[in-house]
Structure 1
Amino acid sequence: MAEENRPAFAADRRERILELVRAHGAVSLRDLAAQVHASEVTVRRDVRALETEGLVDRRRGGVALPGRMGHEQSYSGKSNQCAAEKAAIAATAARLVRPGDAVTLGPGSTAEALAHELLQHTELTVVTNALRVAEVLAAAPGVRVVMTGGTLHGPMRALVGAEAQATLAALRVNRAFLSGNGVSAERGLSTPDPAVAAVDRALSSCAEETVVLADHTKVGADTMVPTVAPEEIAHLVTDNGADPEVLMTLEDTGALVHVAVAVGERGH
């Protein structure tokens, strides 16, 4: 029966590889080989053929959609990664929000987790360009949600563009809560997408201080477009899987580092 699940021809196998890459944004060769029931050597040959056609880009140990830097994935793919860590980060970050605050909240699965933590807050105003964040907070009677305008960026479920930036330029809030694909002492917070980066900068610029939410896979990583300079990060909220030496370099830039412990790891 297992034989029936295997693509019979190279064309079928390559179509399946393309479907997986489109669904996740970036996939390792090992995972692709397991999914299509073929050897990594065979998958590598398929990837080369797809790259020749301009359908994918090869990366070290994997494959991504054309033009993607690093390992950017679909929103659903990101949501499933480090879920316990993101929940712990969100709970810790929520303690930085006070009654009467106005905050900006950017897109991303960690920001969405923070939105869930803010449901019981009162006298809170949240300005966001993130559709998922707004959807979560729509159920919160004590939270007023202000959405930017803009053009929908499908992969991030976020509004981007000049209209979004103009909305934020006229505002002043207490704190900005932002995530991204990497944060380092050298380049600060960064993301692979220029359109998302431009609005992230605007979300940060209208705030008195910026809080970066980054699980351990993002700490020490750099991606294409910097959004918040290292010295502009007032707080970094991460989990206890982050490299302590990298956290020390971020503290040296002036960031106050908060380390959250994921449920299931306490007491170990």
Structure 2
Amino acid sequence: MFAAERRQLILEMVRANGAVSLRELARVVQTSEVTVRRDVRALEAEGLLDRRHGGAVLPGGFTRESGFPQKSHLATAEKTAIADLAAGFVEEGEAIVVGAGTTTQELARRLARVPGLTVVTNSLLVAQALAHANRVEVVMTGGTLRGSNYALVGSGAEQSLQGLRVSRAFLSGSGLTAERGLSTSNMLSASVDRALVQAAGEVVVLADHTKLGSDTMFQTVPTDVITRLVTDEPPGHDDRAATELQALADQGVQIAVAGGPGAVQGPGQLGAESAADRRGPRRDVPLPGQRRNHPPGAGGSAPQLRPAGTLSEAPGSRVADLAPRRR
């Protein structure tokens, strides 16, 4: 395929999907990521698209939201690995909330095997994935159906979550930055996600590396409210993604990396987290914009690493707490 043909195909994919990873572009045009990166750089110079960490987006600063058919074919291998790892943080008998998204749908398919689980969701896709799980109770919110992502939104969904309390919330989104946290392109979806956060003791964000550094219109979860990020291993050449991960860790977010032997490497100490470490007392999540409360005597110091251990639930993956360099 000639360079002009490749670039035309790349441009058509970005226009159709809003955002596409370099890995996906390389797979479709059947060339290396190095070549695709050179093509994306040339298209950016012409003002036809913008580069982002590990991918390309429509020009204009904020990515628009893709529909479900487009999202379901993006970063599929990464979403599968993230879902496999995230499922290891869910225990028997828990009550959790799961937001809408293709990555959370993958998570729901794995949660069908967890006995005694109660899942509250506004996603028809999540509910469908759990519909035949005999040992899992599914609670749907009310609301108005938003067809582009098969989610229930609006005041009905938000009101049905009032007074709810669960152990964890699992959310995805369109973009994630250390400065602004998790964001999405739709106001109604963002409002429901904020209501899901208020119901949970911990917030776990599922985001593949292509979303790191991307910022979209509506903030859903501020960085200081995110307990843990589950992501995939960024490509070795993507220094900006690694920098973003370290910046998130500096703000107290625990980083869980799914993938091969090369987990995210930061200047601080890396340690695996054991399953026992995860079964701590439930912590209240502050309102958006508020900081987490540190334990008595901690003052304003950075959080300490937990003891090293093993995570048997996700063989071949690694859970890492990146030590904050500064606060």
Q: TM-score, normalised by structure 2?
A: 0.62
Q: How does 1:103-182 map to 2 (within 5 A)?
A: 103-182=96-175
- Structure 1, unaligned stretches of length 5 or more? 1-16, 35-43, 45-57
Aligned to 1:90: 83
Normalized per residue, which structure has more helix?
1
Aligned to 1:99: 92
SS at match of 1:97: coil
Residue 226 (structure 2) pairs with residue 228 (structure 1): no
SS at match of 1:174: strand
SS at match of 1:156: coil
The counterpart of 2:249, out of the listed 248, 251, 254, is 251
The answer (yes or no) to whether the contact 1:239–1:261 under 8 Å persists in 2 is yes
Deviation at 1:122, TM superposition (A): 0.5
SS at match of 1:169: coil
Separation in 2 of the partners of 1:92 and 1:59? Answer: 33
Normalized per residue, which structure has more strand?
1
Q: Pairwise CA RMSD of aligned residues?
A: 3.2
1:246 and 1:158, CA in 2 relative to 1: closer, same or farther beyond 3 A? Answer: same
Separation in 1 of the partners of 2:57 and 2:173? Answer: 21
Deviation at 1:26, TM superposition (A): 6.7
The answer (yes or no) to whether the contact 1:236–1:257 under 8 Å persists in 2 is yes
Q: TM-score, normalised by structure 1?
A: 0.75
Deviation at 1:228, TM superposition (A): 0.4
1:63 and 1:119, CA in 2 relative to 1: closer, same or farther beyond 3 A? Answer: closer
The answer (yes or no) to whether the contact 2:62–2:215 under 8 Å persists in 1 is no
The answer (yes or no) to whether the contact 1:68–1:192 under 8 Å persists in 2 is no
Per-residue deviation, residues 55-81 of structure 1 (Å, max 9, x unmatched): xxx8659997xx994142111111111
Separation in 2 of the partners of 1:63 and 1:103? Answer: 33
Residue 233 (structure 2) pairs with residue 240 (structure 1): yes
1:60 and 1:160, CA in 2 relative to 1: closer, same or farther beyond 3 A? Answer: same
Per-residue deviation, residues 207-252 of structure 1 (Å, max 9, x unmatched): 0010000000011211111000101000000000172211110011
Letter in 2 for 1:84: A
The answer (yes or no) to whether the contact 1:94–1:118 under 8 Å persists in 2 is yes
Separation in 2 of the partners of 1:133 and 1:158? Answer: 9
Q: How does 1:11-90 map to 2 (within 5 A)?
A: 24=17, 60=50, 69-90=62-83
The answer (yes or no) to whether the contact 1:88–1:262 under 8 Å persists in 2 is no
Count how many residue pairs are aligned between Structure 1 and Structure 2: 224
Letter in 1 for 2:183: S
The answer (yes or no) to whether the contact 1:181–1:190 under 8 Å persists in 2 is yes
Deviation at 1:25, TM superposition (A): 5.5
Separation in 2 of the partners of 1:176 and 1:248? Answer: 23
1:184 and 1:98, CA in 2 relative to 1: closer, same or farther beyond 3 A? Answer: same
Letter in 1 for 2:100: P
SS at match of 1:217: helix
Residue 191 (structure 2) pairs with residue 204 (structure 1): no
The answer (yes or no) to whether the contact 2:18–2:66 under 8 Å persists in 1 is yes
Letter in 1 for 2:250: D
Separation in 1 of the partners of 2:57 and 2:96? Answer: 37
- Structure 2, unaligned stretches of length 5 or more? 1-10, 29-42, 236-240, 264-315, 318-327
Letter in 1 for 2:249: E
SS at match of 2:170: strand
The answer (yes or no) to whether the contact 1:150–1:160 under 8 Å persists in 2 is yes
SS at match of 2:134: coil
SS at match of 2:209: coil
Letter in 2 for 1:170: G
Deviation at 1:119, TM superposition (A): 1.2
Letter in 2 for 1:166: Q
Residue 253 (structure 2) pairs with residue 260 (structure 1): no
Separation in 2 of the partners of 1:139 and 1:252? Answer: 41
SS at match of 2:211: coil
Deviation at 1:139, TM superposition (A): 1.3
The answer (yes or no) to whether the contact 2:121–2:139 under 8 Å persists in 1 is yes
